[in-house]
């Protein structure tokens, strides 16, 4: 029969802050494959997004080079960005040259 260790500590749970939660939500929306293909995403402000958190995340986005923010009348924000240099560069494909057999 297995013994239970009565002195083990319960697992501590780390609560994320409001700004971390909002940052993760915005990041996952921007990194979504559809948003990446169309190079824009519309972010809606939720009731749980505090003024300070919303302002800080939008401030960080507005300071980022290559990102444009459009503040809509419905309190949402449309985030647009240009393709990066790596995305515009053509892909080089190297095909092996077939050499004649030497035998």
Q: Output the pLDDT for position 16.
A: 83
List of residues 6+ apart from 78 with CB closer than 8 A: 40, 41, 42, 43, 69, 70, 72
pLDDT < 70 regions, the chain: 1-10, 85-103
pTM of the model: 0.66
Beta bridge partners of 77: 43, 71
Q: What is the pLDDT of residue 13?
A: 78
Q: Are strands 40-43 and 67-71 parallel, antiparallel or unpaired?
A: unpaired
């Amino acid at each position: 029969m297995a013994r239970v260790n009565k002195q083990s500590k319960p697992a501590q749970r780390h609560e994320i802050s409001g700004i971390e939660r909002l940052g993760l939500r915005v990041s996952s929306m921007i990194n979504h494959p559809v948003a990446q293909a169309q190079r824009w995403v519309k972010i809606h402000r939720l009731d749980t997004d505090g003024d300070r958190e919303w302002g800080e995340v939008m401030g960080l986005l507005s300071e980022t080079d290559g990102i444009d923010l459009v503040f809509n009348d419905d309190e949402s924000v449309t985030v647009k960005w240009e393709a990066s240099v790596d995305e515009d560069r053509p892909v080089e494909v190297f095909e092996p040259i077939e050499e004649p057999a030497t035998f």
